[in-house]
């Protein structure tokens, strides 16, 4: 029933098609009968007339059920055909699917194998890179060894490889030369040769070698221990070792023996001389001289300030002893005459105090404070400048350091770092200016603070002297009033 229900729209279409086909058949049958009537056969005219009297039977049309059955049978056939084709297609798909799955499994196994091979190749590549790196390091070590041998063995062995890599024979020759060099270093031998005297004169003589680390020179014009003069040459280093050189030449062994040890004759050894003050300052450049002159100015100010404070504070006790008796008796005029013969800040403060003893005590104390403030300028003279120099000197040293480093980097940019002597100028400015700045700043700061404390103590002493004079005068007035009463 469900198949019939789904076929109802198609059945309606087939019904319409069968009706139209039946009408077409009836139309064709009428046309055929009309054509047969229109023909005029003479012989059968009478029979035609007889047959015309009898009516012709109507053609039968197919029923709707028959048309539906025929269409249903056709559709059933189509369905069976489609089901067969679908079955064959599904079978073909399953076959292809199984083939593809087998191919996928095969490809997956190949991928796994390829990955394993790639991992093994990576491991081999890493090992190869390590081997290459180790070979390069060994080659560098070997090249460095040959270079060091050229420098150390000197005349005992010389490399002629050029840009070629050393071979087994070269290594063997190097070690044989090194063994011979070491063997010679255990002996003392002598040979004729040339060397330089202390004044730079080249002379012919005899050289006594102490292994490969020291030598002595003997000549009619001078003897002594020899030092490298550069380029394989030797020079007398110390003329005081002439007797030891002669003793060695005679086969003796002096005790003790003065010897100059060296590693190579290629580099000249220069005797260092202590730099003087001006050489050190000059190596600091312009900033070094500025710090030096600031230090001189600060030193002069410290000395002058010490003199001022010495004069101001040394006479305080003597002044009080000289005027105390007169003040106690109330004789201010005599006390002032005594103070006129004294000099210094304390004498001036005490004089101002005695001149105003007849005023109120508060007024007198104000006058004493004013006098001390007036002397403050004299007592603090050069104190601020000394502190300023102490603060500025390290800053100038830092400026010199920066300037020297800039000069050093300029030389490095232009010439590189191959020759250390080219860098010495900037480094000297950088270090010497810092040293000079600290040398000036530390004493200036120390003396500035000490002298400031000394000045404050002198002010306190002046204030105490003035107050003692006021108290002594007040006591004299009270004693005089008591006697009068």
pLDDT confidence of residue 1: 41
Answer with the residue of higher pLDDT: 28 or 357: 357
Is the pLDDT at 293 greater than 90, yes or no? yes
pLDDT confidence of residue 438: 92
Is the pLDDT at 161 greater than 90, yes or no? no
38: Cα within 13 Å, side-chain hemisphere: 6
Is the pLDDT at 28 greater than 50, yes or no? no
| Start-to-end Cα distance in the chain | 162
Is the pLDDT at 45 greater than 80, yes or no? no
- Over residues 137-145, the mean pLDDT reads 78
**Model-level pTM?**
0.47
User: Measuring CA to CA, which residue among 217, 220, 237, 219 is closest to residue 229?
Assistant: 237
List the structure tokens of 14. 């087939």
pLDDT-derived band of residue 323, with 50, 70 and 90 as boundaries? confident
Ranked by mean pLDDT, the top range of 53-62, 139-148, 297-306 is 297-306
pLDDT digits (tens, 9 = 90+) for 91-122: 999 999 999 999 999 999 999 999 999 999 99
Q: What are the φ/ψ torsions at residue 230 (nearest 5 degrees)? A: 90, 145
Contact 190, 206 (CB under 8 A): yes
pLDDT digits (tens, 9 = 90+) for 62-84: 678 888 888 888 889 888 999 99
The ranges assigned to domains in the chain are 1-27+64-152, 185-272, 281-484
């Amino acid at each position: 029933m469900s198949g019939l229900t789904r076929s109802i729209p198609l059945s309606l279409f087939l019904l319409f098609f069968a009706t139209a086909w039946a009408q077409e058949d009836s139309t064709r049958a009428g046309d055929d009968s009309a054509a047969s009537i229109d023909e005029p056969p003479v012989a059968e005219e009478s029979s035609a007339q007889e047959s015309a009297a009898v009516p012709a039977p109507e053609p039968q049309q197919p029923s709707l059920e028959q048309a539906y059955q025929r269409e249903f049978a056709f559709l059933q056939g189509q369905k069976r055909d489609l089901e067969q084709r679908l079955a064959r297609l599904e079978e073909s798909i399953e076959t292809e699917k199984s083939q593809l799955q087998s191919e996928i499994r095969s490809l997956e196994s190949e991928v796994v194998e390829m990955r394993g091979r790639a991992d093994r190749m990576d491991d081999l590549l890493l090992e190869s890179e390590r081997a290459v790196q180790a070979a390069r390091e060994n080659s560098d070590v070997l090249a460095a060894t040959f270079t060091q041998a050229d420098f150390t063995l000197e005349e005992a062995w010389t490399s002629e490889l050029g840009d070629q890599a050393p071979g087994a024979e070269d290594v063997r020759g190097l070690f044989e030369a090194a063994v011979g060099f070491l063997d010679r270093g255990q002996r003392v031998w002598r040979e004729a040769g040339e060397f330089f005297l202390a004044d730079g004169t080249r002379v012919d003589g005899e050289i006594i070698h102490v292994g490969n680390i020291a030598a002595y020179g003997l000549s009619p014009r001078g003897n002594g221990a020899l030092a490298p003069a550069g380029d394989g040459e030797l020079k007398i280093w110390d003329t005081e070792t002439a007797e030891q050189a002669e003793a060695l030449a005679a086969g003796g062994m002096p005790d003790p023996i003065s010897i100059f040890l060296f590693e190579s004759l290629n580099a000249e050894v220069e005797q260092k001389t202590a730099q003087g003050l001006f050489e050190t300052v000059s190596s600091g450049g312009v900033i070094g001289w500025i710090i030096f002159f600031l230090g001189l100015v600060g030193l002069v100010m410290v000395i002058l300030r010490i003199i001022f404070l010495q004069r101001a504070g040394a006479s305080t006790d003597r002044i009080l002893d000289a005027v105390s008796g007169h003040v106690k008796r109330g004789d201010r005029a005599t006390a002032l005459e005594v103070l006129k013969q004294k000099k210094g800040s304390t004498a001036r403060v005490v004089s101002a105090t005695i001149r105003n003893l007849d005023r109120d005590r508060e007024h007198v104390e104000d006058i004493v404070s004013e006098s001390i403030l007036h002397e403050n300028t004299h007592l603090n003279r050069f104190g601020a400048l000394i502190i300023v120099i102490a603060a500025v000197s390290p800053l100038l040293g830092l400026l010199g350091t920066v300037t020297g480093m800039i000069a050093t980097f300029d030389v490095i940019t232009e010439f590189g770092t191959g020759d250390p002597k080219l860098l010495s100028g900037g480094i000297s400015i950088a270090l010497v200016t810092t040293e000079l700045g600290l040398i000036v700043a530390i004493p200036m700061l120390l003396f500035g603070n000490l002298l400031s404390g000394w000045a404050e103590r002198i002010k306190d002493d002046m204030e105490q002297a003035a107050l003692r004079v006021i108290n002594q005068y007040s006591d004299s007035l009270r004693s005089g009033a008591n006697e009068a009463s």
